[in-house]
Structure 1
Amino acid sequence: MSTRPNVVVVLLDDVGFGAPATFGGPVETPVLDALAGEGLRYNHFHTTAICSPTRAALLTGRDAHAAGVGTVLNSANTNPGYEGVLRPETATVATVLKQAGYSTAAFGKWHLGPPWESSQVGPFDRWPTGQGFERFYGFLGGETDQYAPTLYEGTTPVPPPDREDYHLTEDLAEQAASWMHMQHAMTPDRPFFLYFAPGATHAPLQVPGPWSEKYRGRFGAGWDVVREETLARQKELGVVPPDTELTPRPDALPAWESLGPDERAVAERLMEVYAGFLEHTDVQIGKLVDALKDSDRFDDTLFVYVVGDNGSSAEGGPPGSVNYMGALQGIPEPAAGLVQRLDEIGGPDSYPQYPADWAWAMTAPFQWVKQVASHLGGTRNPMVLSYPARIADRGGLRSQFAHVNDIAPTILEIAGTTLPEQVHGVAQLPMDGTSLAYSWDDAAAAERHRTQYFEVYGHRSIYSDGWMASAYHGGLPWGVGRPGEERSFDEDVWELYHLDTDFSQARDVAAAEPEKLAELQQLFLHEAGRVGILPLHDARVRTALSRMPNLSAGRKSFTFHPGTVGVPESNAPRLVGRSWTMRARLRRTGEEPVRGVIASMGGRAAGLAFYLDDVGRAAFHLRTFDVATLSLQGEDPVGPGEHELEVDFRYDGGGWARGAEVVLCLDGAEIARGRIAVTPPVIFSIDETFDIGLSTGSPAGPYRSPNAFTGGRLERVDVELA
């Protein structure tokens, strides 16, 4: 057996400080409880407040902007530090460990590859297998359907296992546990590094029914009461000081008492599903722990469990949603009738996100949520660290300031290796994080990570020796797609908090401590200059000059052939907000009808499918979230021989999300026509793709993926954009 420890890093998605029971929350997390009992809880651990930057900081040990990923990939732009491209001078800890003799694997969410590099034409340098991981099984984007995910094995799109009870988190955990067993069986003397990043609990909130049923009725008192109860438990557990104050609800969020009965019923059910999703995820992580214990490797493994890459997500907006991709773009489903759909929520026919108030409640006792890097609700997350062979204080609490960029230096220290001066011939920037190993033997050890800046969407803050200065940059942390409004950074009001005596950031002392505030403001500017992000930019504000490369930019004509699959929607022909024509040339070669997908984009939440049904009739299906649907179909099956099928999409124009008339033709003759009142304004989905000859991910039409084209030959598909 290796004398060097194995390393397992778990990173959950969109979980606030006040959600897991291990830190006083209302959601049961038995595996996190057990690991905390065998290791240490950290109650001053911080992330960056948003997804991709946290992942970049965790894997590189550098500040996110220094690594080139200072904003979520969906908002990447040409401003320095915001390109969404991992820099070669900030090699990942996986690369360093691999060169030091470790086996490496990543399972789950990546979200660190530029969209224009995420198709099958590559390049694959910034895919997981190009960043030090020998094995990758997971998805590339920010989210995916838990029942029908967009999956990759290495760099190849693959379908999920074909079983009725499939759920992605379960699959990922089984794959990861199997990989660990294989390492132990075949190379017991070689240590391994496993990075496990499930999509949970990012929307869509999808979990098998029994997990959410368990929580029926637990949230009927509403978010205001649940938040108070959470703080009481946090104090009882000792994860917050006894004098911690509960910060007030933001003005933009409604009180529970202001909701009507139907609104409460929907909001309550959405929270029940979220709770079931989080507990289900935690239990799946138990499979990793079991695999280590079965192999007698648990005591010699550094197990890092980071509960959230940022605070809870308020991206469902105040009402929440059964299909939040529409709500995210300003097209929520009609409220009437939602109460009749409660039993759908969390199942495969839903794409839900809970209300923003629940997200806020799950960051108790702090202010704000995900995206808001100025306040602790966005940046402080639970973290548990276990290493029985090295940590004697089982069940201990550590309150030194810690940041996600501290994980990589901690790993390198316990692995007995250091960051090379060069990796692949590129001189390396030093790591910004600090190893946490110093804190293991002494709960009172002086903290070594003494200064840390934060910035997302212009929201910014700076921590230094127990103080934090914060500046909120306006806007609300929900909604996506449309260009933001410019706001001068000079308009922002700076607040000051003495966190040594004010755990929850509840008492603004800026007026009483102007000199300390000025000192921290200057320190923020120094740090921002150090990582190269001055002058400051709000990544929500997009201009033509700041746009990143795009494989379809400037093109109006495209020709595709079968085998074109997994093209990110953002880099495929843009089929929203305009007119277009799609023509397919195909041949029916025998007596059997031609069936299956010709072309599809998007998935179950919203998407379009050009296909042939089970009896061989030409068909077109378009779904605009839960707002509008259009299905067209020919009367007769396509006959033997060569044919041309065409979809003519005629957009109304005059603004966002307008309607369209759609004409379906066979060999130049119209066979169906219809109208849809609303079309997606910005995107069909975040993670679904454009595919020819089959559907990857969740089905974009009324069929089961992949629904591959059969019964003949699909020659080509031409797309013309108006």
Structure 2
Amino acid sequence: MRHYKHLCIGIFLLFSCGIMNAQEKENGNWPDRKNLPIEPYQKLGKIAPTIKDSDPIEWPKEISAPQGAPNVLLIMIDDVGYGASSTFGGPVPTPVFDNLSKTGLTYNRFHTTAVCSSSRAALITGRNHHTAATGIIMEFSTPYPGYNSLVPRSVASIGKILTDNGYGTSWFGKNHNVPDWQTTPAGPFNLWPTGLGFEHFYGFLGADAHQFRPALMENTKPVDPYIVDGKVDKDYILDKDLANHTIKWIETQKAVSPNKPFFVYYTPGTAHAPHQAPKEWIAKYKGKFDYGFEKQRQMTFEKQKELGIIPKDAKLAPTPAEYQKWDALSPNMKKIVAREMEVYGAQLSYSDYQIGRVIQSIKDMGELDNTLIIYIMGDNGASAEDPTGHGLTSEIGIMVNGEVDTEEFMLKNLDEFGGPWMAEHYSQSWAHAMNTPYQWDKKIASHLGGSRTGMVISWPAKIKQTGQIRSQFTHITDIVPTILEAANLPIPETVDGFKQEPMAGTSLEYTFDNAKAPEKHTTQYFEIIGNRAIYKDGWIASTTPKILPWEGNHPASKDPMNDYKWELYNLNTDFSQTDNIAAKNPEKLKELQKVFVTEASKYEVFPLDDRYIERLNPENRPNFNKGRTEFVYHNGVSRITEGMAPNMKNTSYSLTASIEVKAGDEGMIMTQGGYFGGTALMLLKGKPTFTYAFSHYPNHKWTIQSPTALSAGKHTIVMNFDYSGGGAGKAAKVSLMVDGKEVAKGDIPKTVPKRFSSDETLDVGEDFGTPVTRDYEVPFTFQGKIGEVKVNLKS
């Protein structure tokens, strides 16, 4: 009885507290949107030991978005410069972007961080990229707080904030924000989109994706939508697939919860290399760019003035002398370079078309009026990552591994440009033309060619002064605060118990109804790979670039803090950053340099580091494989990214496969990389075969094959890769053994020194993406049984 009495008192006190808390919440303390997540609120009645003596009780009230909160469609295109789209005076028709500028507002002084991972981290968090530990792309991360690529829990994403506030949230397309060593299907997944608070993800991890053979993930599961019934769908293309999935997701959301607003982060890999597009879209541009870079730059400049995108008194910034000149190209090379731009134009306009399909679906559902659309045309300036001046047929092969394209090969394969067997990137000078009217390009954070891109915001229910231009200084960190103000949501103080870092950006709603509103984002630093600038009240101080945009391998500066010269511009009177007035205003320059140091100290920019490709080695980052010399894989293991695979470059190693086959069985045993650089151990028409691809050039593919097919039964195949040593990318000798007997041997004259691929992976029992050689087609599933495959690394 005594225990029962104490139990009743305990229940009474418990529910009395519950009632009091409920009453407090009813009095205005629920929901507390500044502290996330938000527990459901339940109004309690009387609770007695039996139902008959208890009062009815309401179901817990779960959090919902504020009344009238808009849907949000946040669009980010990749590697598109300020002067590429027709909306901003460029040569590529982007009618969807054009239309949104007419029904919304065009921002002609919008800024990114100048490189993709960093811009994307700032975009989804509202903090500066170093605060989000993303001072450089993920594959080049270093242990310092601003650069380690481990986004802190004190920096919650817009996906997390909106999910916890009752939105349905999703992410479609590129995710270049997962640490390099965490990108395999083994996780960890806390920094993948679903770990960052997004409810759904469909896209790819890393810098880029093959449009016809992408390595996609649905949430955390690998998917290969271009493979249908075991065969490659010849009509598949990524941009269309992303739009299809986005439309389906939105339709499902609204069918089930019509009053629940959605948030879609839509970020296709277009127009990052590889430049690829449907043939019929490429055909639309035939002959459109035969006049060359310099004329295009002048044409765009004039069009920008005509549209009012730039002021009438703006100047065209000079092209740095190091860039390729059109008249210096041979007649055949002009054909090749013009074709590259045709492909780029086709890819960008095709992606814009697919975005239009997404917007049309929202309109068809009657949701467009209350949908905030933020369309950012470029996560940085156009990419001039072409060391040749005439473009590349493989960015990984030429830019990273040092191969050289030949005019003969490029001309012979001109019709293949834009298709699955080329992964080209256009000329450095096309990139510069796409950044009109500014100087420099992607990676050059010190100058507007690297950081300034186009943006349009549309929200029919809210924005009434449509078709106008807004010229306040705006930055990518302003986007999250804008979304939160639009949704009538506060910036959270804590998320999952972690006190949040302050937002660095400012909501742009103040510009919606007032073209002349004084800008609120008055100070902003820029820094990527040692290139840096500081903006304050219309002035910008910028370092003079020491390293060209296409230089990956270069000597690091001994003292990047002091080795760089500085320039000074008054952007109030010099829109396009053309008149360096540092010599005339030394005191102003010193003042801004001090501001940079203050901002850099505040936001964890230090230590400055202008190294680039040399940071790429996976050994520079945490790696579960450090110290391992033996790796064991079983059939079905796939999507092991290069950073987490055994490092089989510049070393000797062996592969040992235990298999069981029937006579004539074939298929992939183990592969890494693909057509543009990779290796494959397989049975080809039953014959043990090892193929090595240094690049996509036919004379860069070497095959060592047994003269006879395997008999039925169990076998052990060993491939010995004997590296010659003496540096990176040297030759190797290969021997194939079957059941202890050598059956074939051969030489590999040169090997991949730095990276097989940026998107293709290590797979066992199947091959995904592109094949290493066109002697077989993916998925080339192994028809027998694989017991295990061992990789043994040797010194």
CA shift for structure 1 position 416: 1.3
Query: What is the root-mean-square deviation in Å for CA atoms of aligned residues?
Result: 1.7
Please give the residue correspondences for 1:191-206 in structure 2 after superposition, counting only pairs within 5 Å. Answer: 191-206=261-276
Query: Does structure 2 retain, via aligned residues, the 8 Å contact 1:551–1:572?
Result: no
The amino acid across from 2:101 in the alignment is A
CA shift for structure 1 position 180: 0.7
The amino acid across from 1:573 in the alignment is P
CA shift for structure 1 position 687: 1.6
Out of 191, 207, 213, the residue aligned to residue 277 of structure 2 is 207
CA shift for structure 1 position 717: 3.1
Out of 607, 612, 620, the residue aligned to residue 683 of structure 2 is 612
Matching of residue 558 in structure 1 with residue 558 in structure 2: no
Matching of residue 19 in structure 1 with residue 84 in structure 2: yes
Out of 299, 321, 336, the residue aligned to residue 229 of structure 1 is 299
Question: Residue 125 of structure 1 corresponds to which residue in structure 2?
Answer: 190
TM-score, structure 2 normalization: 0.88
| C-alpha spacing 1:102/1:531, structure 2 compared with 1 (3 Å) | same
SS at the partner of 1:622?
A: strand
Query: Does structure 1 retain, via aligned residues, the 8 Å contact 2:530–2:560?
Result: no
Out of 718, 722, 727, the residue aligned to residue 655 of structure 1 is 727
CA shift for structure 1 position 515: 1.4
Measure, in 1, the Cα distance between the counterparts of 2:556 and 2:782.
42
When Rg is computed on C-alpha atoms for both structures, the one with the higher figure is: 2
| C-alpha spacing 1:378/1:74, structure 2 compared with 1 (3 Å) | same
The amino acid across from 1:205 in the alignment is H
| C-alpha spacing 1:270/1:616, structure 2 compared with 1 (3 Å) | same
CA shift for structure 1 position 482: 7.5
| C-alpha spacing 1:365/1:383, structure 2 compared with 1 (3 Å) | same
Query: Does structure 2 retain, via aligned residues, the 8 Å contact 1:39–1:394?
Result: yes
Matching of residue 326 in structure 1 with residue 397 in structure 2: yes
CA shift for structure 1 position 393: 1.1
CA shift for structure 1 position 622: 1.2
Out of 553, 570, 574, the residue aligned to residue 643 of structure 2 is 570
CA shift for structure 1 position 670: 2.0
Matching of residue 149 in structure 1 with residue 219 in structure 2: no
CA shift for structure 1 position 549: 0.4
CA shift for structure 1 position 485: 5.4
CA shift for structure 1 position 314: 1.0
Measure, in 2, the Cα distance between the counterparts of 1:355 and 1:689.
28
Question: Residue 603 of structure 1 corresponds to which residue in structure 2?
Answer: 674
Kindly, what percent of the aligned residue pairs are identical?
42
Query: Does structure 2 retain, via aligned residues, the 8 Å contact 1:147–1:166?
Result: yes
| C-alpha spacing 1:358/1:376, structure 2 compared with 1 (3 Å) | same
What are the Cα deviations for residues 124-159 of structure 1, in whole angstroms up to 9, with x where unaligned? 000011011111111011111110001111101111
The amino acid across from 1:468 in the alignment is I
What are the Cα deviations for residues 251-273 of structure 1, in whole angstroms up to 9, with x where unaligned? 21121111111221111111111
Query: What is the number of equivalent residue pairs in this alignment?
Result: 719
Measure, in 2, the Cα distance between the counterparts of 1:86 and 1:684.
27
Query: Does structure 1 retain, via aligned residues, the 8 Å contact 2:506–2:521?
Result: yes
SS at the partner of 2:716?
A: strand
Out of 509, 517, 524, the residue aligned to residue 589 of structure 2 is 517
Question: Residue 199 of structure 2 corresponds to which residue in structure 1?
Answer: 134
CA shift for structure 1 position 716: 3.3
Question: Residue 55 of structure 2 corresponds to which residue in structure 1?
Answer: none
Matching of residue 179 in structure 1 with residue 244 in structure 2: no
Question: Residue 140 of structure 2 corresponds to which residue in structure 1?
Answer: 75
SS at the partner of 1:128?
A: coil
CA shift for structure 1 position 315: 1.2
SS at the partner of 2:359?
A: helix
The amino acid across from 2:311 in the alignment is P
Deviates more, 1:8-17 or 1:545-554: 545-554
Query: Does structure 2 retain, via aligned residues, the 8 Å contact 1:557–1:721?
Result: no
Measure, in 1, the Cα distance between the counterparts of 2:663 and 2:468.
67
Question: Residue 177 of structure 2 corresponds to which residue in structure 1?
Answer: 112
The amino acid across from 1:4 in the alignment is A
| C-alpha spacing 1:198/1:20, structure 2 compared with 1 (3 Å) | same
Question: Residue 533 of structure 2 corresponds to which residue in structure 1?
Answer: 461
Query: Does structure 1 retain, via aligned residues, the 8 Å contact 2:532–2:543?
Result: yes
CA shift for structure 1 position 487: 5.1
| C-alpha spacing 1:481/1:647, structure 2 compared with 1 (3 Å) | farther
Measure, in 1, the Cα distance between the counterparts of 2:197 and 2:222.
20
Query: Does structure 1 retain, via aligned residues, the 8 Å contact 2:655–2:789?
Result: no
Out of 680, 688, 713, the residue aligned to residue 760 of structure 2 is 688
CA shift for structure 1 position 606: 1.2
TM-score, structure 1 normalization: 0.97
CA shift for structure 1 position 481: 6.5
Measure, in 2, the Cα distance between the counterparts of 1:316 and 1:545.
24
CA shift for structure 1 position 480: 3.8
| C-alpha spacing 1:710/1:483, structure 2 compared with 1 (3 Å) | farther
The amino acid across from 1:571 in the alignment is M
| C-alpha spacing 1:483/1:98, structure 2 compared with 1 (3 Å) | farther
Measure, in 2, the Cα distance between the counterparts of 1:396 and 1:608.
54
Matching of residue 58 in structure 1 with residue 131 in structure 2: no
The amino acid across from 2:69 in the alignment is R
Matching of residue 246 in structure 1 with residue 313 in structure 2: no
SS at the partner of 1:523?
A: helix
Measure, in 2, the Cα distance between the counterparts of 1:28 and 1:88.
41
Question: Residue 652 of structure 2 corresponds to which residue in structure 1?
Answer: 579
Measure, in 2, the Cα distance between the counterparts of 1:166 and 1:65.
38
Out of 204, 219, 223, the residue aligned to residue 289 of structure 2 is 219
What are the Cα deviations for residues 90-133 of structure 1, in whole angstroms up to 9, with x where unaligned? 00011000000000110100011112111122110000110111
Query: Does structure 2 retain, via aligned residues, the 8 Å contact 1:593–1:711?
Result: no
SS at the partner of 1:569?
A: coil
Question: Residue 42 of structure 2 corresponds to which residue in structure 1?
Answer: none
The amino acid across from 2:170 in the alignment is A
Please give the residue correspondences for 1:413-432 in structure 2 after superposition, counting only pairs within 5 Å. Answer: 413-432=485-504
SS at the partner of 2:758?
A: coil
Question: Residue 530 of structure 1 corresponds to which residue in structure 2?
Answer: 602
Query: Does structure 2 retain, via aligned residues, the 8 Å contact 1:6–1:302?
Result: yes
Please give the residue correspondences for 1:312-351 in structure 2 after superposition, counting only pairs within 5 Å. Answer: 312-317=382-387, 318-329=389-400, 330-351=402-423
SS at the partner of 2:74?
A: strand
CA shift for structure 1 position 294: 0.8
Measure, in 1, the Cα distance between the counterparts of 2:713 and 2:361.
55
CA shift for structure 1 position 467: 0.6
| C-alpha spacing 1:132/1:502, structure 2 compared with 1 (3 Å) | same
Measure, in 1, the Cα distance between the counterparts of 2:678 and 2:557.
29
What are the Cα deviations for residues 636-688 of structure 1, in whole angstroms up to 9, with x where unaligned? 32222211111111222222222222222211222222222221110011121
Out of 243, 258, 262, the residue aligned to residue 328 of structure 2 is 258
The amino acid across from 1:255 in the alignment is K
Matching of residue 352 in structure 1 with residue 352 in structure 2: no
Measure, in 1, the Cα distance between the counterparts of 2:320 and 2:651.
38
Out of 143, 151, 154, the residue aligned to residue 89 of structure 1 is 154
The amino acid across from 1:561 in the alignment is H
Q: Any stretches of 5+ residues in structure 1 without a counterpart?
A: none
Measure, in 2, the Cα distance between the counterparts of 1:244 and 1:38.
26
CA shift for structure 1 position 484: 4.2
CA shift for structure 1 position 700: 2.8
Please give the residue correspondences for 1:365-380 in structure 2 after superposition, counting only pairs within 5 Å. Answer: 365-380=437-452
Query: Does structure 1 retain, via aligned residues, the 8 Å contact 2:529–2:608?
Result: no
SS at the partner of 1:580?
A: strand
Query: Does structure 2 retain, via aligned residues, the 8 Å contact 1:77–1:539?
Result: no
Matching of residue 305 in structure 1 with residue 375 in structure 2: yes
Query: Does structure 2 retain, via aligned residues, the 8 Å contact 1:76–1:539?
Result: no
SS at the partner of 1:164?
A: coil
Deviates more, 1:393-402 or 1:652-661: 652-661
| C-alpha spacing 1:545/1:680, structure 2 compared with 1 (3 Å) | closer
Query: Does structure 2 retain, via aligned residues, the 8 Å contact 1:105–1:135?
Result: yes
Out of 233, 258, 279, the residue aligned to residue 349 of structure 2 is 279
Measure, in 2, the Cα distance between the counterparts of 1:526 and 1:546.
33
Question: Residue 97 of structure 2 corresponds to which residue in structure 1?
Answer: 32
CA shift for structure 1 position 400: 0.4
SS at the partner of 2:101?
A: helix
Query: Does structure 1 retain, via aligned residues, the 8 Å contact 2:69–2:487?
Result: yes
